[in-house]
Homo-oligomer: A and B are copies of this chain.
Amino acid sequence: MRRLTFAIAAVLACASVQAAPTRIPEQALARAAELREQALADDTGWKVVESLTTEVGPRLAGSEADARAVEWAKAKFRALGFDRVWTEPVTFPKWERRSEQAQVLGAHAQPLAITALGGSPAGTAEGEVVRFESLDALKAAPAGSLAGKIAFIDYQMTRSRSGEDYGIGGTVRSRGPSEAIRKGALGYIMRSAGTDSHRVPHTGITRFDEGLTPVPSAALSVPDAEQLARLVARGPTRIRMTLDCGWDGSYTSQNVIGEITGRELPKEVVVIGGHLDSWDLGTGAVDDGAGIGITMAAGHLIGQLRQAPRRSIRVIAFANEEQGLHGGFAYAAARVKAREIPLQHIAAESDFGAGRIYAFNTGSGNPAGSREATAQIARVLAPLGVEYRPDQGGPGPDVGPLAAKGGAWAWLAQDGTDYFDLHHTADDTLDKIDPKALAQNVAAYTVFAYLAAESEGSFGSEARDVVPPKE
């Protein structure tokens, strides 16, 4: 998951177009409570994650496994009884990781556990390491002061339920390399944006500003960053880092979509989903096999009802979230082109792991009109330990572009206390998911999606033309 959307939420919350209050019928609320209990006892979500992470495994966007994941998703939607299954193309530049290694040179020679940042070029960088406590400290270095050297930002992320410190950790990754190049550095390394203490470096996308010549850029595992900091404190420390990776043409993957057809307003859709791609180091269990499992299972459970929901439930397995929300942007662009933004009743993405959901809210250009319906949903979610938090939250990453175009969004906040132990590492594997916590997520998504689909009135989706978010 990437964090870019809270600002949007705030922007949208400022709008205050008046509309008729949105309500959810009592009968639907009663049925949702039944669905909630059924979902808690159901293991469909777990089975879906198990299947994806085991049978496909790591699925870097643009890799051979990307295509297998698309076929897997189509087959899984069909097996789960979705009424319609289709794909929509998503084209993006393809980045590959082939090999990576680094070592301390000289009297304290030893290997370092690193991983290339997504977007890094290939190359060997050898030089003295200059350590900085933060991105700001690097920015404050004199121009040219890193000529022939390797910049090292040693920022330690703080653990929290909201994962809010990823705002800083993620920026060290996305902005650090360009700042290092501006100071003359021939390579860039960072302490992983993570909260664990294992030899599993955290990858993730980085970008190089226009006009700069990219340099090899990588993350050290947290223990390796601590080791390097100790060595640098002892005296001048040279390292050599050799990365074989890089961009190689473009690739067309697919957003894979499964839909449960609504009984009254089938063209109006409640969108839920996760992203199908993962980084290549782990099997993408918490990022974002969990989101795929949670939302496929929620759609499946609603699809099993004797009476279909009023509106359609659309579950999207988004392509290539990790390298720039490519699937999310493609989905939003296609809706704008087809003038379908008002049909996107409300949208939510699960992309913050597999921890329990603890808070809920919705937002749009017309939040006041749907506040009571949001509170109604929250009351059905409450027995799951979910708190209604009006005026908080925002859309998940891949529905951010849709929200930016005027789509209403829902926020189902997951407990991310352990998320950055695993995020973008080799340790992101199935064993890290608690099946009971996953079922709680399925229950919350099922309740939300069903009740949103049953609502009388809108959550505020309307065609807008705000500036799309940029990372």
Contact = CB atoms under 8 A, between A and B. Distances in A.
B226 A430 contact: yes
Given A109-B64, A200-B198, A282-B199, A223 B429 contact: yes
B426 A199 contact: yes
A369 interface: no
Interface in A422-462: 425-427, 429-432
A227 interface: yes
Copy count, this protein chain: 2
A144 interface: no
A443 to B, nearest CB: 25
B198 A283 contact: no
B57 A110 contact: yes
B54 A199 contact: no
Given A57-B104, A426-B199, A432-B197, A227 B283 contact: yes
A230 B426 CA distance: 18
Contacts of A432: 197
Nearest to A285: B223
A54 B227 contact: yes
- Interface size band for A: 35 or more
A160 to B, nearest CB: 20
A25 to B, nearest CB: 43
A259 interface: no
Instruction: Tell which of A108, A198, A200, A430 has the most Cβ of chain B within 10 Å.
Output: A198
A199 B108 contact: no
A108 B56 contact: yes
B55 A108 contact: yes
A117 B58 CA distance: 25
A64 B54 CA distance: 40
Interface in A216-270: 222-223, 226-227, 230-231, 234
A113 interface: yes
B223 A431 contact: yes
Nearest to A421: B198
